[in-house]
Amino acid sequence: MTENTESLAESFRPGVTTLRNDKFHRYELHVDGELAVISQFMDKPGHIDFIHTETKPQFKGQGLANVLAHFALDDVVASGKRIIPHCPFIAGYLKRHEGYEQDVDWPKEKPPVESEPDNN
C-alpha cells in the first residue's frame, strides 16, 4: 500500500490522507479517518486502467476527488506504468491538467466527459 498523508501539492486541510489499497483495487482518500473518495482501477501488465471514481455525498463539492486523482496519477507515473482513463472523472482530470500527456493511452472508445469538474 502506498500512502501519502499530505496529499501532495493540492492538500488544503489537515486530516486528509491518500493511499493505494491493492486489496480492493482502488485509491482512497480519507478525511479524519473516514473514507471519502475512491478511484477503482485494474492493475494490468504495464498499465493501470481507471474505471470508476466516486465521492461520498457528504464530501462532494470540496475538491477531494481532484486531490485523489492527482495522487493516483502521480503514483502510476512513478511506478513506470501507463494510464488508461476509462473513468470519466479521471479522463476529465487529465484533460484539465498538463503533465501527464506522455503517460496516457486513451482508450479507443472515448469515455463520456463529466459535466462538472468536481461532481465527484
Name the β-bridge partners of 35. Answer: 30
Residue 108: predicted pLDDT: 86
Rounded to two decimals, the pTM is: 0.82
DSSP string, 3-50: EESS-GGG--STTEEEEEEGGGTEEEEEETTEEEEEEEEEEETTEEEE
Q: Are 82 and 47 in contact (CB under 8 A)?
A: yes
Q: Are 21 and 61 in contact (CB under 8 A)?
A: no
- The rounded average pLDDT for each run of 10 residues, N- to C-terminus, in the chain (120 residues) is 42 83 98 97 96 97 96 97 97 96 88 48
